[in-house]
Amino acid sequence: MHKLKKLIKTRCFKKTATPSFQLTSGKKSCFYFNMKKVTYFPEGEVLIGQVVYDKIQELNLKPKAIGGLTMGADPIAIVASFTSFLRDNPIEAFSIRKEPKAHGMRLQIEGNIESGDSVIIVDDVVTTGKSTMQAIDITRKHGVNILCAIILIDRCEENGRQNIESKGIKVYSIFTIHDFELE
């Protein structure tokens, strides 16, 4: 976990003395994480896969699949699934589109999950929790059982964790902003 934290800090984390980074919510913050710089980086992929898979094992969860809203969740789900296969305990990956596909079978969830299956929702960074909650709502609409949400980084701003948990879903974060800003 220390290697992943160091990688995130050197590749993704930006901090300023005054609020300079515009967030999706429209508010400005003194810090920003561009997690794609680690979730799409080979070493980051390996480390994220290990850390997320280990968290699932630590929590003694038995999901059929892991996934979330495209695009932040996609690499996390894929590397956790890959790691699970390497450890002889396969967990499938899935991806949720913001809107159903406009052609073909018009699917909003891609992957091999069906009503009644147990899954874990993942996301890279949580601020308000909006994208994680959207993933939860879409997944529930399809009758899928959500075991929990696993977040790489909880920014501890704008009540993201609390907003998600108000939907009855327990949130586990690998890191919080306090792991980065206090150093």
pLDDT digits (tens), the chain, 183 positions: 899 999 999 999 999 999 999 887 888 999 999 999 999 999 999 999 999 999 999 999 999 999 999 999 999 999 999 999 999 999 999 999 987 766 666 678 999 999 999 999 999 999 999 999 999 999 999 999 999 999 999 999 889 999 999 999 999 999 999 998 755
Domain range holding 97? 49-175
Residue 89 domain-assigned?
yes
Residue 145 domain-assigned?
yes
Residue 154 domain-assigned?
yes
Closest to 133 (Cα-Cα) out of 117, 116, 151: 151
Domain count, the chain: 1
Q: What is the DSSP letter of 163?
A: H
CB 55 within 8 A of CB 168: no
Residue 143 domain-assigned?
yes
Residue 138 domain-assigned?
yes
Q: DSSP letters along 22-75, please?
A: EPTTS-EESEEE-THHHHTSHHHHHHHHHHHHHHHHHTT---SEEEEETTTSHH
Name the pairing type of β-strands 171-176 and 145-154.
Answer: parallel
pTM for the whole thing? 0.94
Q: What is the CATH number of the domain that holds 171?
A: 3.40.50.2020
